Structure 1
Amino acid sequence: MTFDADTLRAELRACLPDPLPRRLGVAVSGGGDSTALMRLLADLAQHEQIDLFAATVDHGLRPESADEALAVSTLAQRWDIPHETLTWQGWDGTGNLQDQARRARYRLLTAWARTKGLNTIALGHTADDQAETVLMRLARAAGVSGLSAMASARKERGVTLLRPLLATTRASLRAYLRAQDIPWVDDPSNQDQRFDRIKARKALSGLDQIGITVETLSRVADNLAQAREALAHYARESALRFVRVVDGDLCVDRDGFDGLPQEIRRRIVVASVFWIAGGEYPSRRKAVDRVLDAISSGQTATLGGCILIPENKKTWICRELNAISNEVAHPAELWDRRWILTGPKAEDAKIRALGEDGILQLEDWRSAGKPRTALLSTPAVWAGGTMVAAPLAGFANGWQAEMRSERSDFAAVILSH
């Protein structure tokens, strides 16, 4: 194919922040897409006087992987880019290999970024990857969020991951590399028909006869991403009207909530579970729909480590006690991934859930203004079998509970999910 290198660079620059971060990371596997991205970013880094750093994740799943990582390092050195190889050693042979490898890759990359003082990493996903993702999610009957596929930017463990090549085809990047006489590696797993992505890639190659191409599917994903953003803003505004944040729990006005479109209610519930319990993936659609029915009918339900408790015309969404009954932390340490408790020095003090044993030691738990079940999963300070403090249950005793800052904004979670 024909291409214009200057146009390619201009298109890439248009998809990057302005101004660029002064220190930018790039993930490079050695394949054509990420290799081209590293070369293009090297040009931009020189022109805009920023520091560029590269990292390669060696999953160790093929004998050639170490040599491939070394080849990337050689290229990076030629272009004066500091490079580091990150080795994954954590797979025990169970679970979905591609999913486990993907999680490990982002875990290693974000940890590397933090050690280098990088807030942003560029990834080499292309329009082809976007189109393949749309096809795979079509097969799963995905909704708007699923079919909007990969976001151009998202946060992962405090690091921004950018995908500036989502409008660029794989073919144009390889044409660029060939013109520059830059080598790349073709991973043999990209021909392995056991993987859904490779099946989607093969299927896509035969759909152009009816006008379904990489470019059209990529545009569909972009259109749906805009629809997703609009729905997220509607859900956020609705949550601000009908959902009240109370010390880490959520109190839903059922009458107002029930008047919302089902898609908006679903988004609020999914975001609520993420905000309270965390997790990497949303609950299954059928499970969420069952919870929506439970809210409307004023029934108790559980979802993703949360419990929904009806109370008069309200429904409380709280942490489920069973999900955190074994969580233990020291004072000033993170408990349940979102709470930090600090207070007077107490010998052998531990942080764990209030639970039944703790609430029986409270004289007036009702003063907290929450259902009893909601209080059971709140953090408390224990010294042996004695409950020393329960700051979220009306018994501070000199202690305070603060939510982890990046988990404190419920409305922001709605926009990101």
Structure 2
Amino acid sequence: MNAQDETARSSSSLRAAPVTAREFASRMSSLDAGKTVAVAFSGGPDSLALLLLASRWVRGRKGAKLHAFTVDHGLRAASAAEARRAAAMAAQIGVPHRILRWKGEKPSSGIQAAARDARYALLLSACRKAGIGDLLVAHHLEDQAETFLLRLARGSGVDGLAAMPASRFLSADAPQVRLLRPLLDLPRGRLAATVSKARLAPVLDPSNEDERFDRVKARKALALLAPLGLDASRLARTAAQMARAREALEAETQALLSEHASISPLGFAEVRGEALAAAPAETGLRVLAALVAFAGGRDYAPRLAGLEAVHAAILEGELGRGRTLGGVKLAFRNGVLTVSREVSAARQAPSLWLRAGEEGVWDGRFRLFLTRAPRNLRFEVRALGPEGLSDLRARKAALPQMPSAVLHALPGLWQGQKLIGAPHLETSGPDIELHVSLRRMPGRKSGNPAEKA
């Protein structure tokens, strides 16, 4: 941040009123925040304001606990020292603090996106280890407006233009942790005033003024748009209106799924073609997106262009022998659209290794729990494949009447080339018990699929 910007920000903070404890408590109450929370704390002015407010909120609640986590991405020489400064500030405020380091090689391109993904992964893991249910982040009114502009520039639809929700789950997997944004409707100047009143000096990240990054360009564009009436408040209100529209569309989508779709515990789905065709295009696309994400083991659906092409083929009766999209196969039979995992994609899924008492997710679709097995053995979960299915047939196992491709994409429990069992098909060794369940149901998202903030 240059001297002129710093002067302007200081002047703005003097004019703005600090955020009161009552205002913050009201926002935390509306988000139904739990008693054990954490703050994603960079040491910057926004997250410092959040930490100050959260520490006062915790002191006013019996049994409440607060933690602060700082992610050191290691992308700049000064990052380690900045993380230590953040730790010192947290200690000064009286909040337990941990530094989380992003280790390993860093990508040469798309660094901001990679850093964001790494940051949330580290924060999610830290919250789970500490038994924390809610993670607070300091996104504010201008952040929301910048996000709206960035999504608009990318040609986003309703989901993207709904921008950042005040609450979402960080992951579809248990134990779940919520990401909460209690400051989302508050302007940056009021957060700066909160810090100024506390007489603390925040850490200033020079990358926040680096115009190579799109978010910095959007921030500067806001100042140019304000005279036209497109200020941060107006853009954030538009994002809120889009969020309400998204909620209505999601309700319609869930209603169609509930009435006309069936979900198999074997990880595939079916939906009546006539119901899909009769639905408004936006609802039909969302149903397709939900089913493709479910059967493909993905948190998010494929790009809109691919979904639109498949949807058009369904409406025009040109799906033919089927199509593939997002690692799944879509095919019509007797007026029913079946959405199932591509065998080749399932076979490429990373193996899950389990010992007795361990659990994990395989292929993004199934959660497996090895409840009983010899203690000295480690087993591999990978696709059943043609070889596993042949083995089961040789054992004269009772197999369900369905396409072999669906069975090929199911998980098998292996030791080397030996199939030990296939949990869906109720086969296992005499001393082995493996439980399997769907990771999640279609249409139940961990957050806004367009969200990248």
For the criterion TM > 0.5, the same-fold answer is yes
Q: Which residue in the other structure is 1:313 paired with?
A: 335
Rate the CA distance shift 1:383–1:246 in 2: closer, same or farther, 3 A: same
Amino acid at match of 1:310: F
Q: Distance in 1 between matches of 2:335 and 2:398?
A: 18
For 1:104-143, what aligned pairs fall within 5 Å after superposition?
104-143=118-157
Query: Using the alignment, how far apart are the partners of 1:186 and 1:383 within structure 2?
Result: 53
Q: CA deviation at 1:215?
A: 0.6
Output one character per residue of 1:82-127: Cα deviation in whole Å (capped at 9) or x when no partner. Answer: 1111111234333300001001111111111122211111001111
Q: Identity over aligned residues, as a percent?
A: 33
In 2, Cα distance between equivalents of 1:381 and 1:27? 39
Alpha-carbon separation, structure 1, partners of 2:160 and 2:177: 22
CA displacement, residues 130-154 of structure 1 (integer Å, 9 cap, x when unaligned): 1001001101110000001111111
Structure-2 separation of matches of 1:415 and 1:58 = 25
Residue matched to 1:328: 351
Q: Relative contact order (alpha carbons < 8 A, sep ≥ 6): 1 or 2 greater? A: 2
The unaligned stretches of length 5 or more in structure 1 are: none
Match of 1:211 in 2: 229
Query: How has the CA–CA distance of structure 1 residues 128 and 349 changed in structure 2, closer, same or farther, with 3 Å as cutoff?
Result: closer
Match of 2:306 in 1: 287
Aligned-pair CA distance for 1:191: 1.3
Match of 2:3 in 1: none
2:215 paired with 1:197: yes
RMSD: 2.7
Q: State the distance in 2 between where 1:352 and 1:237 align.
A: 34
Partner of 1:42: 55
Question: 8 Å contact 1:236–1:414 — kept in the other structure?
Answer: no
Count of paired positions: 413
Match of 2:7 in 1: none
TM-score (norm 2): 0.83
Name the TM-score, length of structure 1 as normaliser.
0.90
The alpha-carbon deviation at position 226 of structure 1 amounts to: 1.1
Contiguous gaps of at least 5 residues in structure 2: 1-11
Please tell me whether the aligned partners of residues 355 and 376 of structure 1 are also in contact (alpha carbons under 8 angstroms). yes
CA separation of 1:91 and 1:382: change in aligned 2, threshold 3 A: closer
Alignment partner of 1:69 is 2:83 = yes
Alignment partner, residue 381 of structure 2: 351
Inter-CA distance 362–208: structure 2 relative to 1 (3 Å threshold): same
2:45 to 27, 32, 55: 32
Letter in 1 for 2:65: D
In 1, distance between residues paired with 2:205 and 2:372? 57
Q: Report what 2:324 is aligned to.
A: 302
Q: C-alpha distance in 1, partners of 2:138/2:298?
A: 25
1:169 matches 2:191: no
Partner of 1:221: 239
Q: Which residues in structure 2 correspond to 1:133-282 (within 5 Å)?
A: 133-157=147-171, 158-247=176-265, 248-279=267-298, 281-282=300-301
Alpha-carbon distance between aligned partners in 2 of 1:122 and 1:414, rounded to the nearest angstrom: 16
Match of 2:402 among 352, 355, 370: 370
* 1:250-307 superposed Cα distances (whole Å, 9 cap, x missing partner): 0111111111111112112222233233335431111111222344434311222222
Paired amino acid for 2:234:
T
Distance in 1 between residues matched to 2:447 and 2:53, nearest whole Å: 31
Q: 1:370 Cα deviation (Å)?
A: 2.8
Which range is displaced more, 194-203 or 292-301?
292-301
SS state at 2:368 partner: strand
Q: 1 CA distance for matches of 2:138 and 2:372?
A: 50
Deviates more, 1:97-106 or 1:17-26: 17-26
For residues 116 and 389 of structure 1, the distance between their equivalents in structure 2, rounded to whole angstroms, comes to 35
Report the Cα offset of residue 375 of structure 1: 2.2
